[in-house]
Chains A and B, each alone.
Chain A
Amino acid sequence: MHDEDYKRRYVFGADYGTSEFKYGPITQGERPLAVENRGYFPEKSVLSQIMGADHEVVVGKDVTLFLESGAELATRLVYPMREGIVMKDDARAWKVVKELTHYALEEFRPKGWGFNGFYVVAALSAVAPRYMYERLFEIFDSMAKEVGLVHSATIIPQPLSVAIAHKKTSCVVVESGHGNTQLAPISRAPIRGAVVALNRGGSDANAIMAEILKDAGYGDLAGEEALVRKVKESLGLLPADLDPAISFAKSNPEAVRAVYAVPGTRLKIELAENSWTRFLVGEYVFNPNHEIFQSYFKRGMPRPKDTKLGDVVFYGTMDVAEAIITAVEKCPVELQPLLYSQILLSGGNFSWKVPEKLKGICVDSTTKVKRMMTEKGIENVEVNMASEPQYSVWRGCIVYGYAVPAGYNWSWEKMEGWMNFYK
């Protein structure tokens, strides 16, 4: 009981997201802190050694300090993850992960007596290979031995965490971030071997947005990532059905006209007679197989490819409904109806908004998925969107750490339990 009380007091959640690392202890309440998942490797010098500032890598708010000072970004600024994965041999990336972990835990080191380290629950992508688990446990081990910040640790897949945060015990979690999309059926635990991954995410919607900008005469802006992303989030639309939406746009050009004013500049982006292409952006996320996309591939827009990372195949152009069905059909038959009735969408790439005057023509992501499923003959589908999707992974980590008994030891076979470092 003693251990259990201690554990509950010191649960710490850590969501290793591709663009942001979200972290904090249970006492944080509803929301974690977030910091960009990146590190800066300053030039080594006698001076920095004498000043005791000879950290090999700087993370967190201090990075901004270096950026403002006009540092060399290309070689010194490291983003450790691509699509949720840290490469095995990327030494600098692992140094960033370690430093961020230390930074986050240190920020919450309790004052006073009786603290023997946190019970850390870390969340990794559902497609993270085993070596990432091993390396992360090594990091926690050194956080225990070198700085006394970790008592025990466990690692769970992000979709499980999302399901827990949304109180759904049987569901299919569809998590779509910037780089890729993961689908994970869950029934009281992740269902093994049923994860499906798509090699498509918000960055692919950016790619088609960039092409559209070129066609509309903004070729000079098409190379600016951050701007293209903003334009996409503001002008991109998700059609209920692509063909009728395009015909609607062509006969009602005024209804689909919109302007994006770039903040802090005089620049206004307006697609004019190309405004109908706004529908292509959202559609492409859900289904890139429409013939209209062929012309974009032909002129050089990269076609999402099937790739293999470890044991997992990332499908390039499989549509979202097909991916859900593929995942569900890997599960026991008696579970399948239950899973279809609890589909949970999460991640920024599902945040499509419906403008008032385009209601019916445009839809939100849950409606879109439901329609696509019905077209494929799957009935009784219920789709929900995660609220505050950026925080749900962390929230699930906190619940997990609070509930899983302190005495349950890590098992590599089951991939659950606590790895104890406090001796």
Chain B
Amino acid sequence: MVLRTVLERALTNYMSKQGLRFEGGSMEEGVLRFVGNGFAYVVKVLDEMGGRPELISAALESAFWAAKGERAYILVPRNVASMDELMAIRLHGIGLLLHGTHGLEELPPMVKHIGKDETQTSVKYENASHVIERIEKLERFVQRINEIDTLVSRLERLEALYGKLSDRLLAFGDVRPSHVKTAVADKSNNSADTKTELPSFMKDNPWLDILAEKGPFNA
């Protein structure tokens, strides 16, 4: 069994290498605190006696700390659980420090999770009034969207009507009303605009027309 004082020294050494300063706590309490890089760090220390139940409660406790915005770590004896089990904890953004005969070692740092976890926890722990405020805001948005929907369907009906009207006007002969022309010109302008935003493999691709003709009655 590794002596607690040795373990404590190894941990403080490791953390100071990461640029962190000891803040308080003790091995007897089983919790040590550090600060640095703009974060508070909590390390829960487990010894060989506890076994798996201890690990589970430490994981849950650490999850709460992490949710409060602290950087939570668990210091565990190397053989307390299988690597896959430890990874289940690691995937929650809780750091794992393993100790054994070769000293102290951190499980692989996460690729992307830290960023993600931060946003999750900050969302979770906003206070209730803030949440209600947001719900109200969302309700106002929903109402706005409903209004827009109504407008869109009115616009669509008007467009259809306009189409029919201009067809009839055309039937009167070659005299096209001037505003019909501008409407047509506007449209082609628009599609030219969207074309410039298209990726290179789409531009002037003859397949666009071939595929657009597909349908139950064609092809």
B197 (CB) vs chain A CBs: closest residue = A29
- A66, A402, A405: the one contacting B214 at CB < 8 Å is A405
B111 (CB) vs chain A CBs: closest residue = A61
- A45, A70, A405: the one contacting B212 at CB < 8 Å is A405
Question: Which residues from B are CB-within-8-Å of A66?
Answer: 83-84, 87
Question: Which residues from B are CB-within-8-Å of A167?
Answer: 201, 204-207
Q: Is B90 an interface residue (CB 8 A)?
A: yes
Q: Is B68 an interface residue (CB 8 A)?
A: no
Q: Is A260 an interface residue (CB 8 A)?
A: no
Contact A43 B90 (CB under 8 A): no
- B142, B201, B212: the one contacting A403 at CB < 8 Å is B212
Given the interface pairs A50-B56, A113-B145, the reply to whether A42 lies near B208 with Cβ below 8 Å is no
- B85, B92, B206, B208: the one contacting A43 at CB < 8 Å is B85
Given the interface pairs A113-B145, A402-B202, the reply to whether A47 lies near B112 with Cβ below 8 Å is no
Contact B200 A48 (CB under 8 A): no
Task: Give the interface size class of chain B.
Answer: 35 or more
Q: Closest CB-CB distance, A43 to chain B, in whole Å?
A: 4
Contact A53 B108 (CB under 8 A): no
With a 10 A CB-CB cut-off, give which of B86, B88, B142, B214 has the most chain A CB atoms. B88
Main secondary structure of the interface of B (DSSP, over half): helix
Q: Is B60 an interface residue (CB 8 A)?
A: yes
Q: Closest CB-CB distance, A106 to chain B, in whole Å?
A: 12
Contact A50 B59 (CB under 8 A): yes
The residues in B between 73 and 130 inclusive whose CB is less than 8 angstroms from any CB of A are 81-92, 107-108, 110-112
Contact B88 A51 (CB under 8 A): yes
Contact A64 B207 (CB under 8 A): no
Q: A42–B82 Cα gap in the complex (Å)?
A: 10
Q: Is A400 an interface residue (CB 8 A)?
A: yes
What are the interface flags for A44-67 relative to B under an 8 Å C-beta threshold, 1 for contact and 0 otherwise?
Answer: 011110111110000001101110
Question: Which residues from A are CB-within-8-Å of B88?
Answer: 42, 45, 47-48, 51, 53-54
On chain A, the number of residues with a Cβ less than 8 Å from chain B's Cβ atoms is 50
Contact A53 B92 (CB under 8 A): yes
B212 (CB) vs chain A CBs: closest residue = A403
Question: Which residues from B are CB-within-8-Å of A2?
Answer: 156
A113 (CB) vs chain B CBs: closest residue = B145
Q: Closest CB-CB distance, A4 to chain B, in whole Å?
A: 10
Q: Is B38 an interface residue (CB 8 A)?
A: no
Contact B110 A65 (CB under 8 A): yes
Q: Is B6 an interface residue (CB 8 A)?
A: no
- A30, A169, A411: the one contacting B201 at CB < 8 Å is A30
Q: Is A188 an interface residue (CB 8 A)?
A: yes
Given the interface pairs A167-B206, A398-B202, A402-B208, the reply to whether A61 lies near B56 with Cβ below 8 Å is no
Q: Closest CB-CB distance, A65 to chain B, in whole Å?
A: 6
Which B residues have a C-beta under 8 Å from some C-beta of A?
A: 52, 55-56, 59-60, 63, 81-92, 107-108, 110-112, 141-142, 145, 156, 199-202, 204-212, 214-216, 219
Which A residues have a C-beta under 8 Å from some C-beta of B?
A: 1-2, 29-30, 42-43, 45-48, 50-54, 61-62, 64-66, 68-71, 113-114, 163-165, 167, 169, 188-189, 392, 395-396, 398-400, 402-405, 407-409, 411, 414, 416-417
Contacts beyond the supplied A65-B111, A408-B214: 10 A-B pairs with Cβ under 8 Å: A42-B88, A45-B85, A48-B88, A51-B88, A66-B84, A69-B83, A69-B108, A189-B219, A402-B202, A403-B208
